[in-house]
Structures are given as structure tokens and as C-alpha cells.
Amino acid sequence: MAGRAELVDTAVGQLHVQIDGEGGPAVLWHSLFVDSTTWDRMRPMLRKRRQLIIIDGPGHGQSGFPSKDFTLSDCAIAAAQVLDFLGVNQSVDWLGNAWGGHVGLFLAAQSPQRCRSLTTIASPIQALTRRERMTIVPMVWAYRGLGAAPPLARAVTKSLLGTTFIRTHPEETDLVVRSFRDVPKAGMHRAMVSVMLNRPDLGPLLPRINVPTVMIAATGDPVVPVGQIRAAVAQMPSAVAVIIDGEGHVAPIIAQADELAEVVTTFWNDPDAYVTAGTCTPS
């Protein structure tokens, strides 16, 4: 798509950044396992309202991979370094899917002056449970040895997209599979360990976030229960939950791009008013 690209040296390695659109700055950071191409359906609608700063996370897309494990706090520092490199001095509207939402939460807590608003989509707040670790740890170590072997790629894709999306959107499904399959194994494995296995409970962070926040959850997301998101916003000074009908962890930003873009841009128009209104479902 149109726009210029930069490679920026950061605390988590060299990050590939695309800049597109006009207006105030908005930063987009994708989910684990995929890359910035997952924003392509929403991007034309968002770029009409904002200058988009679209980041490929470390070990993903066209970014390099870090030489050591990193934290979500490190990712937030890296995002600030991207903004410094681009000369962005004003506060930004942050939009993050899953991992990208986590980075935004840390940025809003650590550097609130950087954030005008924060939107998370399908970002779990709790650390992995013991039961989840029993499934996910073997998967991560299998990936370290075998890479994105077909059985593993299918399992990841089903979690990200859901069975209905996979059946009805074969081209988009193939793009998601390739974004997981085609990156260097070392970088992806390090990201899996750093931001999934080592992800902390973000609950203690929430009361510190005063930035107007919308947390979006899908009713059929197997990773993020709706109740977890409702409980999260209840702990935040200025936050609201938006619940959409859908499945999968990444699928909504593709299959329901129009609906989500409407939510996001309405929120961007007046973040404080949106949260004060207590909007819980998209209009």
C-alpha cells in the first residue's frame, strides 16, 4: 500500500515502520504470530483520519529480530524511540491488536504524555494460566525445533482466526499463515517466549493508566474472555469495553474491519466523551 517506510534502531532491534495518511499521529502494532499486513482492511479507513505509524514487532514482518529476550516494557520503550526518530512530539492515538494492545498499555502507564488515546483489540490482561502453559509451552519448544510445521501452523491459525473465518476467507487465511511461516525461526521463537510465555499479569498496571481507553473483545475469541475485558476496564480510571460478535483473536480486524474502524474513528474524534458516554457496544 502507499506510504513511506523506515527501519529504526530500537531497544528491541531494528523495527520496520510504515508511515501513511495525513493528520494527527496514530500508532498501530499487530498481534503475535502475524505482521502489519493484518491491518490492511482497516488501513484505508483509518488513514483518512490520521497519519498512521504502522510497526512490525521484533521478529515479525520486515523487522529484524532481537539478540536477547525482551519485555513488554522494552517494546513500549522501542515504540517511543520510533516516535523520536520520526520527530513525533505530540501525543498519539494508539491502536494495538493483542500484543500491540499490551505494548500500548505499557506505553500509557510509563509515558502517559505520549498517548492521547488507547485502543486494544483482543489483548488478554492475565498471564498464562497453568493449564494454558501446559499446552503452549510444548508448542513453543516444538516451534524452536521444527519451525512452522503444518500441524503447528494449523493450530496457531485456528486460534487466531477461528474455523468460520478459515472456511470463508481462504486468501486472508493464507496471508496469515505466511506471516507466521515465512519469518526467521529464531526471531519468532524469541518473541513467543518474551511476550507470550513471559507475559506478566497486567492487572496491577491498569489503575495507573489515565489515558482514555477502549478495550475491544469478540464474543468468540478463545483467548480473551469477554468477562476478563469487562473486569479490566472496571479497574481503570477512564476506560470502556466494546463487545462485538465474532470469533478468533485476529479475525475481527479483517472480517469486521468496517465495524471496528467505525468504533476506532468515533473514539478518536473525542476520546473523553466516548468513555464518559459508557459505550459498550458499537452503534
pTM (two decimals): 0.96
Containing H/E element for 247?
strand 239-247
* Contacts of the segment 225-230: beta carbons below 8 A, 24+ positions apart: 228/124, 228/125, 228/126, 229/125
**Strands 51-55 vs 92-97: parallel, antiparallel or unpaired:** unpaired
DSSP state, 210? -
**Among the listed residues 105, 96, 99, 119, the one whose alpha carbon sits nearest the alpha carbon of residue 32:** 99
Q: Which cell numbers in the block locate residue 79? A: 515504540
Amino acid occupying residue 254: I
- Indicate the CATH number for domain 4-277: 3.40.50.1820
The DSSP call for residue 97 is E
CA neighbours closer than 13 Å in the CB half-sphere of residue 153: 18
The DSSP letter of residue 248 is: S
Average pLDDT per consecutive 10 residues, the chain (283 residues; last block may be shorter): 86 97 96 97 96 97 92 98 97 98 98 97 96 93 93 92 94 93 93 96 96 96 93 97 92 96 97 85 41
**At residue 219, what are phi and psi to the nearest 5 degrees?**
-65, -30
Provide the 10 A C-beta neighbour count for residue 194. 23
Q: Are 53 and 26 in contact (CB under 8 A)?
A: yes
4: buried, middle or exposed (CB in 10 Å: 19+, 13-18, 0-12)?
exposed
Question: Domain coordinates of the chain in residue numbers?
Answer: 4-277
What are the beta bridge partners of residue 27? 53, 94
